[in-house]
Structure 1
């Protein structure tokens, strides 16, 4: 006699949720428990907001909206192509600020050091002979570092100074100079302007190929004999007149040996 399937009939009466949870119904496998821990959402990422950056290329300003963080990224977004020698500030790999400056260059910058001439300070020294000079302190030239490059301006290639800095300041030379007297005794009352006009046309720089110089056409030997240095034509008109008066007194007024053709003009 066959056993009545009571267990099976009982299980049929159970609701589906309970049947799934029952241990002895429909097989011996245990149900997998559901996790009660909620799965966290993945973090959401968003692009940084666009901001305004002023780009200055050779003095011309443009404004760009960009999300770039470095100078290179900002220029790339703004479609500003850089040449091999262009200067960029701030540097290309630096964090971009509100302004980026670009200087277009046609050549690699060249740095040179140049000498700055020492200035000359003249101080009158009564102890020195009139119009004479003496170095009281030696000067020293300065040094300046200059950076240059070629750029394009109005369709032409021109050289410009990019930067310069004084590396060493020059030290001035102090030069003592003798007094400048108004004249030499009674000789000062003669008409030296008339003599100069006759001898050289009144030109203190006049040079005669025969070897005579300045207002009164001194020879080098005569000029040196009255205390002159260098060429007479390089001296000031006042010094040339002063030394001409010294010469007049030195020869005791015998002007004929010095200015045979024009000396009489002294008395006009």
Structure 2
């Protein structure tokens, strides 16, 4: 018994015994450690590259020494797996959402069945709806490049598409009988100095100084001074025919130039 015990002590002191395992070196690399990889980080459009081992966006940004602000937008989100690209938009405020109307387009189709210079609605338009998200960001302003808060649209999406408005439009010229052969340029020169945008504070508009009532009686819409010169001439000729050539009630001072 004493001999067996002494033999065991002797073997232990000499490093004997097949069950002992050598201690691993302290600086040996772990087999499961991820290898560094290149990640591109774009902050407010400015691109940088970094080598990172983190698996999430948060870890990658931490390795790159990038601190996020309270309202900053990050894509992918901070707790999602990090790929090869991370985008950050610095915000000074929480994003806000607006509902914006999108005006419809208007298509005009020529039609011989519509009176000259008139329009007929074939299909009424309908505005669309757009959802816009915006926030304040800090951007250079002015020549000095001084930073100041400005509004920036972050996202926008169409909730409802606009419906195009369709109009049938009559010809932009038409015969008005004998009235077309009169000297309308002479009348316009006397009434407005040939200025289709002329406005008299007394309530007269355009080349021929229509009143709103006389313009409407000739089929005009809106203000005469907003219509083209050609339409104003056409409406003046319609008005002349409508009153059976009694021009004195419409142009008492300048009407004589129609016959010059």
Tell me if both proteins adopt one fold, taking TM over 0.5 as the criterion: yes
Q: CA deviation at 1:74?
A: 0.9
Q: 1:56 aligns with which of 12, 34, 42?
A: 42
The answer for the alignment partner of 2:195 in structure 1 is 203
- Distance of 2:202 and 2:40 partners within structure 1: 72
- Distance of 1:139 and 1:69 partners within structure 2: 52
Residue segments in structure 1 that go unaligned for 5+ positions in a row: 1-17, 23-33
The answer for the alignment partner of 2:160 in structure 1 is 168
Q: Does 1:45 align with 2:30?
A: yes
Which moved further from structure 2: 46-55 or 238-247?
A: 46-55
Contact 1:183 1:245 in 2 (8 A): no
* Larger of the two Rg values belongs to structure: 1
The answer for the alignment partner of 1:117 in structure 2 is 103
What pairs with 1:1-268 in structure 2 (closer than 5 Å)?
Answer: 20-21=3-4, 45-46=30-31, 47-154=33-140, 155-268=147-260
- Distance of 1:161 and 1:175 partners within structure 2: 34
Q: CA deviation at 1:37?
A: 5.6
Q: TM-score normalized by structure 1?
A: 0.79
Q: 1:250 to 1:50 in 2, by over 3 A?
A: closer
Which moved further from structure 2: 246-255 or 80-89?
A: 246-255
CA RMSD of superposed structures (Å): 2.6
Q: TM-score normalized by structure 2?
A: 0.82
